[in-house]
């Protein structure tokens, strides 16, 4: 059975990606960190699309949890193969550098960059053996442009962009593509509380994006037909930055 693993699939962009994967016919593994109710809501939406899936709780910032939970899942489910991996889980802890704590720096780095590394490493070998795979990393405008107050977040996302380009070159010959999507301002819990009116005035499309619009792009990059696109970063920002 072909599966798509979406990290941070319980809410926001990750949830919309899970629904998109379900519409593409994948069995969806919905990873989450703590919000089990939201993860179950996503699973219900996956089932509404006529597909199936399950929720899988592990912290992408924890090498040990990834090895024990995801590793055990893979050992116990040899009939299932993770063909699509979407590294979506991410957090922000905004603060100007002057006042940033080590915890704010490390937490954001461990989740986005560390999560990319350890989760991808866990599933990559099976993709290499099958000679097919699609890896899509959810990065950010912040990782391309850099945003003040987000030195940690910008560094983490820029790191994942570099890793995307490097890994794409390592695994291209094995039928595996590695791409990234870089959303601008998308309406989710993460952007709650931002001065939307003020920000919208700077966005050519004059609105925040939707999680579904990001998911649509992820679905394209995850499709079999996108096999000649790799190492790319696709901006989804309403024209804010190119």
Active centre residues (catalytic): 153
Q: Residue 191, interface with ligand NAP (CB under 6 A)?
A: yes
Query: Least distance from C-beta 228 to ligand NAP, angstroms?
Result: 25
Q: Residue 70, interface with ligand NAP (CB under 6 A)?
A: no
**Among 21, 29, 46, 61, which residue sits at the site for ligand NAP (rule: CB under 6 A)?**
61
Q: Residue 140, interface with ligand NAP (CB under 6 A)?
A: yes
Q: Residue 59, interface with ligand NAP (CB under 6 A)?
A: yes
Core vs surface per residue 101-126: b (16+ CB within 10 A) or e: eeebbebbbbbbbbbbbbbbebbbee
242/239 Cα distance (integer angstroms): 7
Q: Which is closer to ligand NAP, CB of 146 or CB of 172?
A: 146
Alpha helix (H) residue ranges in 100-147? 102-109, 115-130, 141-145
**DSSP code for 98:** G
149/151 Cα distance (integer angstroms): 6
Phi and psi (nearest 5°) for 109?
Answer: -65, -45
Query: Least distance from C-beta 12 to ligand NAP, angstroms?
Result: 2
Query: Least distance from C-beta 212 to ligand NAP, angstroms?
Result: 12
CA distances (Å), 240 to each of 185, 207, 236, in order? 9, 11, 9
Stretch that binds ligand NAP, among 7-15, 77-85, 94-102, 119-127 (CB under 6 A): 7-15
Residue 141: which of 198, 197, 190 has the closest Cα? 190
Query: Least distance from C-beta 175 to ligand NAP, angstroms?
Result: 26
161/55 Cα distance (integer angstroms): 27
**Interface positions, 91-130, toward ligand NAP (CB under 6 A):** 91, 111
**Among 3, 4, 5, 11, which residue sits at the site for ligand NAP (rule: CB under 6 A)?**
11
Residues engaged in binding ligand NAP (CB under 6 A):
7-8, 10-14, 31-35, 38, 59-61, 88-91, 111, 138, 140, 183, 185-186, 188-191
């Amino acid at each position: 059975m072909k599966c798509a693993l979406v990290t941070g699939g319980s809410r926001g962009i990750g949830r919309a990606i899970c629904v998109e994967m379900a519409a593409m016919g994948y069995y969806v593994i919905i990873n989450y960190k703590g919000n089990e109710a939201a993860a179950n809501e996503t699973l219900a939406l996956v089932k509404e699309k006529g597909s199936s899936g399950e929720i899988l709780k592990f912290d992408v910032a924890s090498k040990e949890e990834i090895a024990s939970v995801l590793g055990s899942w893979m050992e116990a489910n040899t009939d299932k193969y993770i063909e699509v991996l979407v590294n979506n889980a991410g957090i922000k802890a905004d603060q100007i550098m002057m006042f940033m704590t080590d915890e704010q720096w490390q937490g954001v780095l461990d989740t986005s960059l560390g999560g990319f590394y350890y989760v991808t490493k866990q599933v990559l070998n099976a993709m290499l053996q099958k000679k097919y795979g699609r890896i899509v990393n959810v990065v950010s405008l912040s990782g391309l442009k850099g945003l003040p107050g987000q030195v940690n977040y910008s560094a983490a996302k820029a790191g994942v962009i570099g890793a995307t380009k490097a890994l794409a070159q390592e695994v291209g010959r094995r039928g595996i593509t590695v791409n990234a999507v870089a959303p601008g301002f998308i309406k989710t819990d993460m952007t709650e509380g931002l001065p939307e009116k003020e920000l919208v005035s700077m966005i050519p499309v004059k609105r925040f994006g939707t999680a579904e619009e990001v998911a649509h792009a992820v679905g394209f990059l995850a499709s079999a037909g996108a096999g000649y696109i790799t190492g790319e970063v696709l901006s989804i920002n309403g024209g804010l930055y190119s």
